[in-house]
Structure 1
Amino acid sequence: MGIRLAVAALLLTGPAWPAVAEGLPRYDVSGHCGRVAVVAGKARSPEMREACERREQEAHAILTQTWPTLSPAAQGRCLWAAHAYDRTYATLHDCVRLELEAMERRRRWGS
C-alpha cells in the first residue's frame, strides 16, 4: 500500500525537476565534456573535450534567448528530457528547438 501511495503522490505532484521560474538549469559542462573526452580515448581526448565545451557554450547562448519564449509546460517537458538523458545544454537546446518548431506549426496550421 505504501508504494501505491508514493506513486500516486508523484503522479499528482509531477517530477521533481528544478522550478521553471528559476530560468535555465545549471549543468556540469566540464564534468560532462570530461567524460566525453575519456570515451573518445587518449588520441582524440583534447579535441573532443574542446568540441564538446564549444557546443555546450553555443547551446547555452542560444537558450538564454529562446528559453523565456517557451510556455511553462514546454519548459517542463524539456527539463524532463534533458534530466532524463544527459543533463546538457545541447540536449536542452534540441528539445527547445523542437518545441519552438511545433509551436510554429500549430500557429501556421491553426491547431
Structure 2
Amino acid sequence: MLETGTSGTLDDTLGPAVRTVIATGDYDGHVGFMRTHWHTADELRSEMEAAGLGDVQVYGIEGPAWPALDRMGDRSGQHRHPQHDAFEEAVTGVYSVWQ
C-alpha cells in the first residue's frame, strides 16, 4: 500500500486484493512488487510458540502508510481523499484479524 499510496493509485478497486493479503498472507504481485507471502497473525503466533516462547500476543503496529497518504494531500482529516477510504478499510481489516 505504501507504493500505491504515494503513486496515487490506491483506490477501492484494490480492496478485494488487500483483503486477500490480510486473510491469507499471499500476495500475487499484481501491482509491481514480487509474488510473496507475509505472515498472518496466526502464523506469527504459531512460529513464536513453536520456538518455545510462551503467552504470545500479537499486536499490529502502524507502519509508513499514513505518511504516504499525507504526501497525497490528506493532511488535515477534514476532507476525504479517495485513497483514504481504501487504506482505512485495509487497516481496519488488519486490526480485526489481529484481535
Q: What TM-score do the two structures reach when normalised by structure 1?
A: 0.26
- Which has the larger share of strand? 2
Q: TM-score, normalised by structure 2?
A: 0.29
Structure with the higher fraction of residues in helix conformation: 1
Pick the structure with greater CA Rg: 1
Task: Pick 1 or 2: higher relative contact order, CA cutoff 8 A, min separation 6.
Answer: 2
